[in-house]
Amino acid sequence: MIMAKKILRKFLPHPDVITENRWIKLLGPRLQDPSLWHINRRSCSLAVALGMFCAFMPVPFQMVIAAAGAIWIRANVLLAVPVVWISNPLTIGPMFYFCYLIGAEMLGLEPGAFHFELSFDWLVNGLAAIWQPFLLGCFVVGAISALASFLLVRILWHLHILRHIKIRARRLHNRRRRAHGKL
């Protein structure tokens, strides 16, 4: 996973930059935990799963929830937060409609007209009619997405490590062959 680590390190700020920030220091020693900033299999797979789950939460401030969750489960904060951006103004409508359809199917309801609006009026009036299938769908799709992304990151990380081991073994074998040939 050396190459993936290099790529992530290229785009993510250095942990010292974050932990030495005066605003972060005000939040206490919990944010000084190195596991919140390390790039390893456990921390990254948990961060991606958490970010995916939070992306399907129909609430504002999903990034804050993802950051707090990452701190709580000791996952990589810098990876959990941007994964939430999967739900953005362009994707949130289709994502929530899909969640509504899944929830309606699970509850055995006939899907009605669904018009999502990012407004307080819609939250008060529009959500009242569909809240049960909508929230059930959001929870189920979020949980399945989190589990699938967790497993995908773990599998890809494992395959990358196996590939790296094979490359090292091949190089070692070639060196020994060359050394033996020269004797």
Pull the structure tokens for residue 100.
Answer: 């509504």
Q: What is the pTM of this model?
A: 0.74
**How far apart are the two ends of the chain, measured CA to CA in Å?**
36
Helix (H, G, I), strand (E, B) or coil at 168: helix
Task: Quote helix, strand, coil % in the chain, to nearest 5.
Answer: 80, 0, 20
**pLDDT value of residue 153:** 93
List the pLDDT tens digit at each of the 183 positions of the chain: 555 666 666 666 666 666 666 656 655 666 667 777 778 889 999 999 999 999 999 888 888 899 889 988 889 888 899 999 999 889 988 898 899 999 988 988 887 766 666 677 766 777 777 888 889 999 999 999 999 999 999 999 999 889 888 888 888 888 888 887 754
Please give the tally of structural domains in the chain: 1
Q: Residue 67 sits in which domain range?
A: 2-182
